[in-house]
Amino acid sequence: MIRNFLVKSLLLSILISSCLNLFAQSEIDFARIDSVLKYFYTSNKMMGSAAIARNNKILFSRAYGYAEINDNNKLPADINTKYRIGSITKMFTAVMIFQLIEEKKLSLNTPLSNFFPNIPNAGKITIADLLDHHSGLHNFTNDPDYLTWYTKPKTKKEILNIFEHDKPDFQPAEKGEYSNTNYVLLGYIIEKITHDSYSNELRNRILNKINLKNTYYGYKIDTNNNETYSYTWKDSSWKQEPETDMSIPGGAGSIVSDPEDLIQFIDALFHGKLIDKEYLKEMTTLKDNFGMGIFNFPFYGRYSFGHTGGIDGFESFISYFPDDRLAFAFCSNGMNYTMNDILIGVLSIYYNKPYNFPDFKTINLSKDELSRFEGIYSSAALPLLITIKLNGTTLTAQATNQSAFPLSAVNGTEFKFDAAGIVITFTKVKNGQFKEFTLKQGGRAYVYTRQK
């Protein structure tokens, strides 16, 4: 349930700027962690909550921003405010599948055809293929028409009909490729085996077992229940996003939670309170960089396990560092910056590593200055044309079949779009017009040349 700008990726790459070392608690500058998160919030780069725990003890928990913003009211968020967590739901679904495997009601080799024989390649797709994204089933949220119906209720029969008519992207076990379709089906399989709803099984198998008070299957957002709407920064203010109808994401993205509950969940998972350690090993074993409902975030000799999530304007992250017994969770209902860079800031400060607060200053250029950049550009490295266009007094960029996004001028030739971590630097002037730019995002660089 993740919508990306320009360059799509399965995960947000967590690249922490140095090797992590353990420090005494007195050396951890929680005041500075609070300061950097306040800085992002007051700079209109994010709203949300963060929590850090070691040995299952909460060391830091703060909320920034609002659960609801409208003309008549601003409702502040607090540490118990609940967020849609998107694809982090997949971790919960995977845990319940492994519980059913422990109960001998299922196996990793059970074919999908035992439950949904009309799905393409159902006889060849196993439970393991669904768990680690090797099924080849098309990701239905990538369909061009998905955004025309995602806010409307869908029955299970209607969703299955979509899956049955979508052509597979590749053959089962051929490779790994992220697909929400896999986990919607796994959620349905849980219901078929147990003869109960996903919501009830979630409550009985996980929530009640480890006493999670702020986690549950989501429905229509209710701020009276301390749930938050999601927002996008547009035209110098936070604008409320439409809501995905929660009949759609199911086992792929339906859960609501908060950072402290997510920490309690992942700590319980890694301490054998939800599944046996042999199944945790299966879950965390990577195949083509995919675990079973979990991902590995390596950096400089250390690693963590967890998941990211995105649905509507919500973004979230949960990760556990086994060697350090450290858990870090972040839930946002408004993001105007890359979540990855916020996480880097928090963890760099936690581990007492050098970190400079980012500079968000921009400059204003005249219409005549901005018009020099207009044009259609192409790259040999990416099959996407990018149209640079002046919209009023704002320069915008738009990739093929994607929405336009505003560019902020850093100087006379460099522009950025913080929400996606994009930096565009123009070069090569001819007859007063710029002829080339380099686009940087996620540590990669792409050269684009003007076509017209």
**Mean pLDDT along residues 299-305:** 78
Confidence of residue 6 (pLDDT cuts 50, 70, 90): very low
| % of the chain exceeding 90 in pLDDT | 83
Tokens 């400059």, residue? 363
Q: What is the CA angle 446-177-152, rounded to 5? A: 100
For each of the domains in the chain, give its residue range(s) and CATH number, in order of start: 1-360 (3.40.710.10), 367-450 (2.40.128.50)
Instruction: State yes or no: pLDDT of 29 exceeds 70.
Output: yes
Per residue in 342-393, pLDDT (tens digit) is 998 998 998 888 899 999 999 999 999 999 999 999 999 989 999 999 999 9
DSSP bridge partners of 267: none
28, 36 in Cβ contact below 8 A? no
Tokens representing 189 are: 């399989």
Instruction: Quote the pLDDT of residue 443.
Output: 85
The answer on pLDDT for 415 being more than 80 is yes
Rounded (5°) CA angle 205-55-59: 105
Distance CA 319, CA 52 (A): 10
CA quadruple 337, 339, 343, 346: dihedral positive or negative?
positive
Region at 22 (left for phi over 0; alpha for psi -120 to 50; beta for the rest): beta
- The model's pTM is 0.89
Q: What is the DSSP letter of 203?
A: I
Cβ 322 vs Cβ 305: under 8 Å: yes
Residue 337: the pLDDT is: 94
User: What is the rounded (10 degree) CA torsion for 189, 195, 198, 204?
Assistant: -120
87: three-class secondary structure by DSSP: helix
For residue 297, the model assigns a pLDDT of: 84
Q: How much is the mean pLDDT over the chain?
A: 92
Please report, to the nearest 10 degrees, the dihedral formed by the alpha carbons of residues 347, 302, 14, 307 taken in order.
-100
* The pLDDT of residue 124 is above 50: yes
Inform me whether the pLDDT recorded for 2 exceeds 70.
no
Query: How far is residue 240's CA from residue 67's CA, in Å, rounded to a whole number?
Result: 11
CA distance 284 to 304: 10
Mean pLDDT of all residues in 239-250: 97
Residue 300 pLDDT level (bands cut at 50, 70, 90): low
Spell out a b/e string for 67-106, using b for 16 or more CB atoms within 10 Å of the CB, else e: bbbeeeeebebeeebbbbbbbbbbbbbbbbbbbbbeeeeb
In this prediction, residue 429 has a pLDDT band, given cuts at 50, 70 and 90, of confident
Nearest Cα neighbor of 35 from 25, 43, 27, 24 is: 43
183 has pLDDT over 50: yes
Q: Is the model's pLDDT at 304 over the cut of 70?
A: yes
Interatomic CA distance for residues 58 and 36, integer angstroms = 19
Q: List the structure tokens of 196.
A: 């109960």
| DSSP secondary structure letter of residue 361 | -
pLDDT of 250 reads 98
| Residue 275 pLDDT exceeds 60 | yes
Distance between CA 287 and CA 111 in Å, rounded?
19
Cα distances (Å, whole numbers) of residue 334 to 240, 338, 400, 432? 9, 11, 25, 39
For a pLDDT cut of 70, what percent of the chain falls above it? 94
Specify burial of residue 425 (Cβ count, 10 A radius: 0-12, 13-18, 19+): middle
pLDDT per residue as tens digits for the range 257-267: 999 999 999 99
Question: Is the pLDDT at 274 greater than 80, yes or no?
Answer: yes
